[in-house]
Amino acid sequence: MSRQVGQSRWHAVLVNAGLLALAVVSLAPLLWMVSVSFMPAGEASRFPPPLLPSGSTLANYQALFARTGMGRNFANSLLVAGAITLGSLLVNTLAGYAFAKLRFRGRDRVFQLLLAALVVPAQVAMLPLFLMMKQLGLVNTFGGVIVPALAGVFGIFLVRQYARSIPDELLEAARIDGAGEWRIFFRIVLPMLKPVLVTLAIFTFMAAWNDFMWPLIVLTDQENYTLPVALASLSREHIMDVEMMMAGAVVTVIPVLLLFLLLQRYYIQGLLLGSVKG
């Protein structure tokens, strides 16, 4: 009996040590980034590499905003991700509700087609999309990033899954009372969808904020770059300025990381709703 107790204690120690090791590996690069961003210029390139700044300084952040125009890129990212989030939230919610609760001809076939489209990698569309954007005069504009992202199959799917739980009797009762479809949507449906709207908003904002390949293609001037594109280009020019680049990484990562920490319950729910239960 005591051998068994000893074994299970060992087991508990191993489990928690394993988790601790994984947590250290997961967080160390991020903590190192924050630490280096406060180091005086040149300190991170010494040997042995210091873990903590000798004296903390904001000089890297000042240099970043003064010399590289990263403030402008930050504003671009905020604008682009914000517009995509607001716009696609409305568009996807309308469609998701329609596919769940409104009967219209061809509904199920169209939805099947949307799901089938999920197997096509987004990059297949990018080359012709660039030519289209050129025709529309949207190359090197925020519109070129925002417009194609205004609807997405994942978002429609997420809302549809959730909206299916709205009782039909509720909608029928409103119709008998003479309420129009728009009124029903904004007065009855939208309030009931609030949790999934929060989930979808976080997902969309983070995906838009972190997106790299399409903004890299469609935005051609440094002053129009979003943060990831600007950081990729700066890190090539300023490869030796470790401290300043880490300040740039902090500015890029911290907003989405904070958003996740504040709203992670919704985020994880959406992740599961979108993958396993689908």
Partner 1 sequence: MTRSLAGWMFAGPALLVIGLFFGLPVLSALALSLTDFDLYALADAGNLRFVALDNYLELLRTPMFWKSLWNTTYFVLVGVPLSIAVSLGAALLLNAPAARFKALFRTALFAPVVTTLVAVAVIWRYLFHTSYGLVNWALGHLGVPAVDWLGDPRWAMPTIMLFAVWKNFGYNMVIFLAGLQAIPQDLYEAARIDGASRRQQFLHITLPQLGPVLLVVGVITVSGYFQLFAEPYVMTRGDPLQSTVSVLYFMFEEGFKWWNLGRASAVAFLLFLIILAVTTAMLRVGRRRGLV
Token pair belonging to 263: 């709203």
Min. distance of Cβ 176 from partner 1 in angstroms?
Answer: 13
Min. distance of Cβ 59 from partner 1 in angstroms?
Answer: 18
Is the Cβ of residue 173 or residue 268 nearer to partner 1 in the bound state?
Answer: 268
Token pair belonging to 63: 């240099």
Task: Say if residues 156 and 95 touch (Cβ distance below 8 Å).
Answer: yes
Min. distance of Cβ 232 from partner 1 in angstroms?
Answer: 5
Token pair belonging to 206: 């983070």
Token pair belonging to 56: 């903390």
Q: How many CA atoms lie within 13 A of 189 on its CB side?
A: 29
Min. distance of Cβ 194 from partner 1 in angstroms?
Answer: 18
Min. distance of Cβ 56 from partner 1 in angstroms?
Answer: 19
CA distances to 26, 150, 184, 232 from 252, in Å: 18, 23, 40, 11
Is the Cβ of residue 110 or residue 170 nearer to partner 1 in the bound state?
Answer: 110
Is the Cβ of residue 67 or residue 175 nearer to partner 1 in the bound state?
Answer: 175
Is the Cβ of residue 79 or residue 125 nearer to partner 1 in the bound state?
Answer: 125
SS3 readout for 226-247: CHHHHHHHHHHHCCCCHHHHHH
Is the Cβ of residue 42 or residue 195 nearer to partner 1 in the bound state?
Answer: 42
Q: Which of 227, 206, 249 shows the shortest CA–CA distance to 72? A: 227
Is the Cβ of residue 32 or residue 65 nearer to partner 1 in the bound state?
Answer: 32
Angle between helices 59-68 and 70-101 (to 10 degrees): 80
Min. distance of Cβ 21 from partner 1 in angstroms?
Answer: 10
Min. distance of Cβ 217 from partner 1 in angstroms?
Answer: 6
Task: Say if residues 192 and 104 touch (Cβ distance below 8 Å).
Answer: no
Min. distance of Cβ 81 from partner 1 in angstroms?
Answer: 11
Write the DSSP assignment of 238-277 as a string of letters.
Answer: TTT-HHHHHHHHHHHHHHHHHHHHHHHHHHHHHHHHHHT-
Is the Cβ of residue 34 or residue 59 nearer to partner 1 in the bound state?
Answer: 34
Is the Cβ of residue 25 or residue 176 nearer to partner 1 in the bound state?
Answer: 25
Write the DSSP assignment of 139-206 as a string of letters.
Answer: TTSHHHHHGGGS--HHHHHHHHHHHTTS-HHHHHHHHHTT--HHHHIIIIIHHHTHHHHHHHHHHHHH
